[in-house]
Chain A
Amino acid sequence: MQRVKEKAIELLRSGEVSRVLGWKTGEFFYDLTPAVFESVEEVEKGFVFSLFSGANLSKYLIAESKKEGKIAVFLKPCDSFSFVQLQKEHRIKRENIYAVGIQCDGMCDGESLRSAGCEGMTGVEDGESLTVHTLYGDQVIEKKEALLGKCQTCKSKRIVDFDELIGQQGEDVPSDRFAEVAKLEAMTPEERFAFWRTELSRCIRCNACRNVCPACSCEKCVFDNPVSGVQNKAVADSFEENMFHIIRAFHVTARCTDCGECSRVCPQNIPLHLLNRKFIKDINELYGDYQAGADFDSRPPLMDFRMDDPEPSVIYTRGGAAK
């Protein structure tokens, strides 16, 4: 873990880059936020790479890579998919970026630790299982229990694009990430409707999902645009809760790398990733496996077609979409 910070210092010191995009501590040690460091001193003082560096840094490159000078960025495997997807969409200037890939065994979530009963945490030690130091003594927690939701269904340990690697290059790993979607699909429409009403009705339109999502990076969102015809800033009723999330999911269809940031940041704990994953699952089933950001040249399924694509009526008969 220390190697990451050392690398950041080394890159700044050698003049390879003029800025470093990384993480710094927030209010608590488990509450890390993305930050740009402009000097060795700043890194030494504030840069943190720990079990809580879950945040995906790729999105910040849209703005940062357009600035003067080169910037270093640290990318976990799942972040590298967003990084590549953004390059495919010409959103970032690759030549201004020095990408350091870092292997990852899953990131942890402070909230999970707290709900596991850790009060007054002062630090965490990684190991076979986690040793949590608290004001009231040490506690041992299974790492599995503390993992972020997105890390529990990790799909790949492969770092798609990088200039330098810390740790080993990994491979795609088997994941049962569609299990939850399949569970929902197996419900009756009434149950599904009730499920999503319960979830989406909590939405307060804080736009955290939109702000964190690397795919949701429009110059101006349609929901903020008075001429789009769908402008709306606050949800007034159930329709608008649905509308926002349906359209948002549709707009990131086949562009979403399933990085899971939307659900991670949602203050209302709405499982937003289940919307995106539904589209990913459908695409895989109907048009062949596709992983956004896994390569540089595949054609996104919504910008592609085959003559013998299934008709829309397929959803009436397909397994899983049980009535």
Chain B
Amino acid sequence: MQKIGVFVCWCGSNIAATVDVEAVSQALAQEPGVVFSTNYQYMCSQTGQDLIRDKIKEYGLTGVVVCSCSPRMHENTFRKTCEKAGLNPYMVEIANIREQCSWIHKDKAEATEKAIILGRAAIAKVQLNAPLQAGTSPVKKRALVIGGGIAGIQTALDIADAGFQVDIVEKKPTIGGKMTQIDKTFPTLDCAACILTPKMVDCAQNENIHIYAYSEVEAVKGFVGNFKVTIRKKARFVDTTKCTGCGLCTEKCPQKKVPNEFNLGLDNRRAIYIPFAQAVPKVATIDPDYCNMLKNGKCGVCAKVCGANAIDYKQQDELIEEEYGAIVAATGFNPIDLSKFNEFGYSQSPDVVSSLEFERLMNAAGPTGGTLLRPSDGKHPHTIVFVQCVGSRCDGGEKGKPYCSKICCMYTAKHAMLCREKYPDTDVYVFYIDVRTPGKNFDEFYRRAVEEYGVHYIKGMVGKVVPENGKLKVQASDLLDNRQLHIDADMVVLAAAIEPDKSARPLATMLTASMDTNDFFTEAHPKLRPVESPTAGIFLSGACQGPKDIPETVAQAGAAASKVIGLLSKDHLLCNPCTAQPDEMMCNGCSSCEKVCPYGAITYIDKEFRGPNRTTLLRRVAQVNPAVCQGCGACTVACMSGAMDLKGFSNRQIMAEVDAICK
């Protein structure tokens, strides 16, 4: 039997004016198990807390009920008070007689009666409370960043800067991501490579950062503080420790007809290649799909020319196991496939390009050396039509994405402005639905494109693009002029919607991190926890969480890093003690609980039990990892045998409250 103390708070007149606190403390003194009951003006004051502490010692109380304001207000205060007096903090229950009683009722008799009932329910619950210990789990002081774009780079740099080890896993042969393909950045028009490549070099040189380029995450096990990750390091067929990145092999390789993905297939590369001059790590990679030596054993030119003897045609994929305390998803985005938008003629004419392809055509390191030339005939375009919102803001999955891709308005303004600046003889049209420019200096930038550079912004949409006699016949609407336009364009640039990288969905499954219907990672709270996944220890950086421009990505990357640093700076994690706990004797091993657990906290093991007649029985039983369980209780209801129960909110405790209230 518990020895329970009841402490009724007046809260000045907040409670005492409508609830007869004396009557409440007297009535509750009669309850079974109650050995002491009193009331006081302000229980949360120092004197009030001292009172509780003294009585715990004086009466040897094993449970405390405080009838006061909402537990959301002072539950922690009173738990700490009791802990100081040597009582387990989870032996405290609060009866909410202010917010849910005195403040909502006027009739004193009624409110007093209700306060007594609420007190009784709390007492009934305390009777069944058990001391709970918040467990701890150690933290592996190493972070994993998945994705080596600007988001991953910034996150890794910030974590490394705080003195923690961090690994970057990047599936491409080099880190850098989409930003390496971009020419200039809005709204300042500074060169993307100029601001990004120093960061890439920093990553390579930072001794706290290890880059697994050309690698992918294969499996993730464990939980916050203790993830075990398997990384597949794909075979490059080049010994990265020997390769000096001289690039001789990439000049001598006879296989010249490989579409160059860095330039989005606008030109070709060799079968052995370094994606671009500033690649990090700067080592060559052999493309096994095109290499003659790997395909039919006939060539070997690269091995002959390599002075460092780095070529290794027998290299195999390598599996690396590593432990991490925190994982950051920074898997980024891709433009959507435009081939289904037949009306714009993307598949019919090489002169209809996506905005990212346009970036490459404008870039000094691109296929045209920075001179804007039409892909079809290499001539200068004189009329360029930009179409915004291609595949964004669509209704229904078939046609495109329901969301606004956010970055297109600004980069289209940038493209239009750069065109007019470099080639003042071009006519530039931008067809828009809305121009969205919320951001520092964004609207000013867009206005400059219109006012200073004379870009024709037309409110309306292109209906169709038909290639005809070397021109692109553009038919569009001008909604403000209420007319239909027919433009003979030389180039059409489509601002394709962006979508999360395809690798994000399988990764989310491995991480048990939730995703929305568009495959963007979900944040733990849309306002207050925007860089954390609901799954503890998983953080989000960059466009994998939603469309973002570079400054926002960098800001989020820094925020994610600071959350990781906060986690890694702890030696141990204190776990919520109100977690689910299965009774193994009753567990059916049916996996129902596992299916509803949002955190992947439940696993199964085959365990030996004593059977009848001195036999042993192997049974499949559930195990809850208390470091991962957040205590929602979904599993307790999914469990039909009642084997799964929630500490602190057990079936018996809740039923005891029900009984006390319904009596």
Asked whether A222 is an interface residue with its Cβ less than 8 Å from the other chain, the reply is yes
A229 and B652: CB pair below 8 A? yes
B590 and A220: CB pair below 8 A? no
Asked whether B17 is an interface residue with its Cβ less than 8 Å from the other chain, the reply is no
B618 and A220: CB pair below 8 A? no
Asked whether A303 is an interface residue with its Cβ less than 8 Å from the other chain, the reply is yes
Shortest CB distance A170–B (Å): 28
Q: Which residue of chain B lies nearest to A303 when distances are taken between CB atoms in the complex?
A: B595
Asked whether B596 is an interface residue with its Cβ less than 8 Å from the other chain, the reply is yes
Most buried by B among A217, A219, A220, A221: A219
Contacts of A251 in B (CB 8 A): 640
Contacts of A89 in B (CB 8 A): 588-592
Asked whether B638 is an interface residue with its Cβ less than 8 Å from the other chain, the reply is yes
Asked whether B655 is an interface residue with its Cβ less than 8 Å from the other chain, the reply is yes
Shortest CB distance B166–A (Å): 35
Contacts of A227 in B (CB 8 A): 651-652
Asked whether A302 is an interface residue with its Cβ less than 8 Å from the other chain, the reply is yes
B638 and A219: CB pair below 8 A? no
Asked whether A225 is an interface residue with its Cβ less than 8 Å from the other chain, the reply is yes
Asked whether A2 is an interface residue with its Cβ less than 8 Å from the other chain, the reply is no
Asked whether A90 is an interface residue with its Cβ less than 8 Å from the other chain, the reply is yes
Q: Which residue of chain A lies nearest to B617 when distances are taken between CB atoms in the complex?
A: A66
B586 and A90: CB pair below 8 A? no
B638 and A228: CB pair below 8 A? no
B:485-532 near A, CB below 8 Å = 517
Q: Give bound CA distance, A228 to B636, whole Å.
A: 12
B638 and A218: CB pair below 8 A? no
Shortest CB distance A54–B (Å): 26
Most buried by A among B517, B617, B642, B651: B642
Asked whether A91 is an interface residue with its Cβ less than 8 Å from the other chain, the reply is yes
A218 and B588: CB pair below 8 A? yes
Say whether, besides A89-B588, A91-B589, A91-B590, A219 and B643 are in contact (CB < 8 Å).
yes
Asked whether A299 is an interface residue with its Cβ less than 8 Å from the other chain, the reply is yes
Q: Give bound CA distance, A61 to B588, whole Å.
A: 14
A:76-128 near B, CB below 8 Å = 89-91
Asked whether A34 is an interface residue with its Cβ less than 8 Å from the other chain, the reply is no
A299 and B595: CB pair below 8 A? yes
Instruction: Give a binary string over A289-313; 1 marks a CB under 8 Å from any B CB, 0 the rest.
Output: 0000000000110111001000000
Contacts of A66 in B (CB 8 A): 617-618
Asked whether B587 is an interface residue with its Cβ less than 8 Å from the other chain, the reply is yes
Contacts of A304 in B (CB 8 A): 595
Contacts of A299 in B (CB 8 A): 595
Q: Give bound CA distance, A222 to B642, whole Å.
A: 6
Count residues of A near B (Cβ-Cβ below 8 Å).
22
A90 and B590: CB pair below 8 A? yes
A303 and B617: CB pair below 8 A? no
Asked whether B641 is an interface residue with its Cβ less than 8 Å from the other chain, the reply is yes
B596 and A303: CB pair below 8 A? yes
Say whether, besides A66-B617, A219-B586, A219-B587, A303 and B592 are in contact (CB < 8 Å).
yes
Q: Which residue of chain A lies nearest to B620 when distances are taken between CB atoms in the complex?
A: A90
Asked whether B585 is an interface residue with its Cβ less than 8 Å from the other chain, the reply is yes
Instruction: Give a binary string over B613-625; 1 marks a CB under 8 Å from any A CB, 0 the rest.
Output: 0000111100000
A:263-306 near B, CB below 8 Å = 299-300, 302-304
Q: Give bound CA distance, A89 to B589, whole Å.
A: 7
Contacts of B588 in A (CB 8 A): 89, 91, 217-219
B586 and A220: CB pair below 8 A? yes
Most buried by A among B586, B595, B620, B643: B586
Q: Give bound CA distance, A284 to B652, whole Å.
A: 34
Contacts of B619 in A (CB 8 A): 219
Contacts of A229 in B (CB 8 A): 651-652, 655
Q: Give bound CA distance, A62 to B399, whole Å.
A: 50
Shortest CB distance B612–A (Å): 11
Shortest CB distance B636–A (Å): 11
Q: Give bound CA distance, A66 to B591, whole Å.
A: 18
The number of chain B residues touching the other chain, given as a range, is 20 to 34
Q: Which residue of chain A lies nearest to B597 when distances are taken between CB atoms in the complex?
A: A303
Instruction: Give a binary string over B261-292; 1 marks a CB under 8 Å from any A CB, 0 the rest.
Output: 00000000000000000000000000000000
Contacts of B591 in A (CB 8 A): 89-90
Q: Give bound CA distance, A217 to B640, whole Å.
A: 10
Most buried by A among B587, B589, B641, B643: B641
Say whether, besides A225-B642, A228-B651, A229-B652, A90 and B595 are in contact (CB < 8 Å).
no
Contacts of A228 in B (CB 8 A): 642, 651
Shortest CB distance A234–B (Å): 20
A219 and B652: CB pair below 8 A? no
Q: Give bound CA distance, A91 to B587, whole Å.
A: 11
Contacts of A300 in B (CB 8 A): 592, 595
Q: Give bound CA distance, A44 to B638, whole Å.
A: 45
Q: Give bound CA distance, A304 to B592, whole Å.
A: 10
Instruction: Give a binary string over B600-621; 1 marks a CB under 8 Å from any A CB, 0 the rest.
Output: 0000100000000000011110
A90 and B640: CB pair below 8 A? no
A219 and B596: CB pair below 8 A? no
Shortest CB distance A60–B (Å): 16
Q: Give bound CA distance, A109 to B654, whole Å.
A: 46
B:548-604 near A, CB below 8 Å = 585-592, 595-596, 604
B641 and A221: CB pair below 8 A? yes
A:232-259 near B, CB below 8 Å = 251-252
Shortest CB distance A229–B (Å): 4
Most buried by A among B588, B618, B619, B638: B588
Q: Give bound CA distance, A298 to B638, whole Å.
A: 17
Say whether, besides A91-B589, A228-B651, A229-B652, A218 and B596 are in contact (CB < 8 Å).
no
Q: Which residue of chain B lies nearest to A254 when distances are taken between CB atoms in the complex?
A: B592
A222 and B592: CB pair below 8 A? no
Q: Give bound CA distance, A228 to B652, whole Å.
A: 7
Shortest CB distance A83–B (Å): 15
Shortest CB distance A250–B (Å): 8
Shortest CB distance B618–A (Å): 7
Most buried by B among A218, A251, A300, A302: A218
From the candidates A90, A222, A302, A307, name the one contacting B641 in the complex (CB within 8 A).
A222
Contacts of B585 in A (CB 8 A): 219-220
Q: Give bound CA distance, A222 to B651, whole Å.
A: 11
A218 and B640: CB pair below 8 A? yes
Contacts of A219 in B (CB 8 A): 585-588, 619, 641, 643
Q: Give bound CA distance, A91 to B590, whole Å.
A: 7
Instruction: Give a binary string over A192-231; 1 marks a CB under 8 Å from any B CB, 0 the rest.
Output: 0000000000000000000000000111111001011100
Shortest CB distance B35–A (Å): 26
Contacts of B589 in A (CB 8 A): 89-91
Shortest CB distance A241–B (Å): 20
Contacts of B640 in A (CB 8 A): 218, 222, 251-252
Shortest CB distance A66–B (Å): 7
Q: Give bound CA distance, A89 to B588, whole Å.
A: 8
- 8 new A-B pairs (CB below 8 Å) besides A89-B591, A251-B640, A303-B638? A90-B589, A90-B604, A218-B586, A219-B643, A220-B641, A229-B655, A300-B592, A303-B592
Sample 14 A-B pairs with CB under 8 A, ordered by A number.
A89-B590, A90-B589, A90-B591, A91-B589, A218-B640, A219-B588, A222-B641, A225-B642, A227-B651, A251-B640, A299-B595, A303-B592, A303-B596, A303-B638
Pairs of residues from A and B, 10 with the lowest C-beta to C-beta distance, nearest first: A218-B641, A89-B590, A251-B640, A303-B595, A229-B655, A222-B642, A228-B642, A220-B586, A219-B586, A229-B652
